[in-house]
Amino acid sequence: MQVLDDLWIRIAVWFRGLLESFLPPWAVQLTMDVLGILLLIVLGIVVVLAFTYMERKVIARVGDRIGPNRAGPFGIFQAIADAIKMLTKEDVTPTNADRWLFLAAPIVVIIPAVLLYAVLPFGRGMVGVDLNIAVVFVVAMGGIPILTMLMAGWASNNKYALLGAFRTVAQLISYEVPMVVALLTVVLLAGTMSTVGIVEAQASFPFALVTPVAFVVYMLAGLAELNRTPFDLLEADSEIVAGYFIEYSGMKFAMFFLAEYINLFMVAGMITTLFLAGWQWPILPSWLWFLIKVVVVIFLMMWIRATFPRFRIDQMLGFAWKALVPVSLVNLFLVALVAKVLEPGWARTGVLFVSNLALLAGAIAIMAQVARKREERARAAGEAAIKRYYGSEVR
């Protein structure tokens, strides 16, 4: 078991030993770093291949379809066929586009996505860099795509793209706030900003149990950051066709696509790390646990995508500012208070869990009340119109 758990680390140590036998120490370090970076980038691309296939299959099964089944057994080479198609397609730059920005956007979008992998703990001792401010790094890198999407939308010289870019800025900036507050809650509980430290702090209880509110808020904000249903209105195909990347084709489109799925893995990985105890949990090797949890989280996101309609822009912003931000702020105070008063353990977890559920129930009740009010208003307007039409006559 121990062997399996340390598998990748053992391989790395063995490889380093191999290199040390004929290279000077600085060269060994350099080679190992470059290899690590390459490995992460390759991992990113493999992840995209795997998850596009998974996404298609999941959505197809939810929709009572079969999904890809032609390219290879069970269609597993569908993603590769798609990649080949995408890379061989004509590369179009629209007339009057801002050429350099248009070219730069797909390149810039992929860099922060890959950079984020550096702080993700894939298993026990398997982390690119154990930054002590990893959480801040994640938030900072997560802000860059906003700029990229604005670049892409503006440079395309297309009104749909511009609308998509407007929406992007409004949505992503709004959802950064509850996301950061949820992150703060976790940091408060863990007492550290290092991702490795946060995972280790969840040895007894995953934070999803300790503070479900932060988990839900982070999950929703993560969906919004990823532009996935129900917050996919940046690229809403039924409204603004494809949003900011409407004019991109071929390779450049593939870059956006790549970034989207790399980010998907990243956000799922962060959720796993922050709330689902990362690579911890017994019996299975740590990296397998991490992978399983990530896949479960991603499956959840795909399930949501396959079944939910999307919000409207004003509702989505309203949801961020009127629901998520207050709820997560209240939760932050709550957690700060309880964490100050009670020592870590069953009592603290229990108190936090129950109070969090109460908070969640309260928030949902208020939202349901608002929805009911709106329904009543719509009904009243309809009734008034019917009365106007029929007058005093009996229906």
Partner 1 sequence: MLKTETITINMGPQHPSTHGVFRMVLTLNGETIVDLKPMFGYLHRGLEKTSESRTYLQAVPFTDRLDYICSMSNNFAYAVAVEKLAGIEVPLRAEYIRVIMAELTRLVNHMLAVGFLFNDLGAWYTPVVYAFRERERILDLFEMASGSRMMCNYIRPGGVAADLPAEFLPQLRKMIPHLENFVREIRFYLSDNEIFKARAVGVGFLPADMAVAYSITGPVLRASGVKYDVRKAEPYSIYDQFEFDVPTQVAGDVYARYLQRLDEMDESLKILRQAVERIPDGEYATKVPSRLRPPKGEAYARIEAPKGELGFYLVSDGSPNPYRWRNRPPSLINLSALREMCLGHKVADVVTILGSIDITLADVDR
Least distance CB 50 / partner 1 (angstroms)? 20
Binding mask 55-84 for partner 1 (x = CB under 8 A): ----x--xxxx-------------------
DSSP 244: G
Interacting positions 342-381 with partner 1 (CB under 8 A): 367, 371, 374-375, 377-379, 381
Least distance CB 62 / partner 1 (angstroms)? 6
Least distance CB 364 / partner 1 (angstroms)? 9
Nearer to partner 1 by Cβ, of 39 and 60: the residue is 60
Residue 69's contacts (CB-CB under 8 Å, 6 or more residues apart) are 75
Helix axes 250-275, 78-87, angle to 10 degrees: 140
Could you give the CA distance from residue 115 to residue 309 in angstroms, rounded to a whole number?
32
Nearer to partner 1 by Cβ, of 120 and 240: the residue is 240
Nearer to partner 1 by Cβ, of 32 and 62: the residue is 62
22 binds partner 1 (CB under 8 A): no
Task: Report which residue type is found at 369.
Answer: Q
Task: Report which residue type is found at 375.
Answer: E
322 binds partner 1 (CB under 8 A): no
Binding mask 155-184 for partner 1 (x = CB under 8 A): ----xx-xx--xx-----------------
Task: Report which residue type is found at 380.
Answer: A
Q: Given the rule CB under 8 A, which of 95-103, 145-153, 225-233, 276-284 is the region that contacts partner 1?
A: 225-233
Nearest Cα neighbor of 229 from 55, 374, 45 is 55
Least distance CB 229 / partner 1 (angstroms)? 6
- C-alpha to C-alpha distances, 140 to 65, 178, 363, nearest whole angstrom: 40, 15, 29
Within the chain, residue ranges assigned H as helices are 2-5, 7-20, 25-62, 78-87, 99-115, 134-155, 159-190, 195-201, 207-210, 212-225, 250-275, 286-307, 313-318, 325-341, 346-390
385 binds partner 1 (CB under 8 A): yes
Residue-wise burial string across 232-263, b where 16 or more C-beta atoms lie within 10 A, e elsewhere: bbbbbeeebebbbbbbbbeebbbbbbbbbbbb
Least distance CB 261 / partner 1 (angstroms)? 16
Nearest Cα neighbor of 184 from 121, 220, 223, 136 is 136
Q: Which of 20, 33, 91, 383 binds partner 1 (CB under 8 A)?
A: 383
390 binds partner 1 (CB under 8 A): yes
Count of all residues that appear for the chain in the document: 395
Q: Which of 310, 322, 330, 353 binds partner 1 (CB under 8 A)?
A: 310
Contact 66, 78 (CB under 8 A): no
Task: Report which residue type is found at 231.
Answer: F
Nearer to partner 1 by Cβ, of 10 and 61: the residue is 61
Least distance CB 322 / partner 1 (angstroms)? 13
Residue 126 phi/psi, 5° resolution? -105, 85
Binding mask 91-130 for partner 1 (x = CB under 8 A): ----------------------------------------
Binding-residue total with partner 1 (CB under 8 A): 49
24 binds partner 1 (CB under 8 A): no
Interacting positions 226-255 with partner 1 (CB under 8 A): 229-230, 232-233, 236-241
Could you give the CA distance from residue 338 to residue 248 in angstroms, rounded to a whole number?
50
Nearer to partner 1 by Cβ, of 216 and 339: the residue is 216
Contact 130, 196 (CB under 8 A): yes
137 binds partner 1 (CB under 8 A): no
Nearer to partner 1 by Cβ, of 158 and 356: the residue is 158
Place of tokens 């959505």: 59
Nearer to partner 1 by Cβ, of 122 and 319: the residue is 319
Helix axes 134-155, 159-190, angle to 10 degrees: 180
Here the tokens at position 145 are 């795509």
Nearer to partner 1 by Cβ, of 12 and 241: the residue is 241
Least distance CB 99 / partner 1 (angstroms)? 23
Residue ranges in contact with partner 1 by CB under 8 A = 59, 62-65, 159-160, 162-163, 166-167, 229-230, 232-233, 236-241, 305-315, 367, 371, 374-375, 377-379, 381-386, 388-390, 395
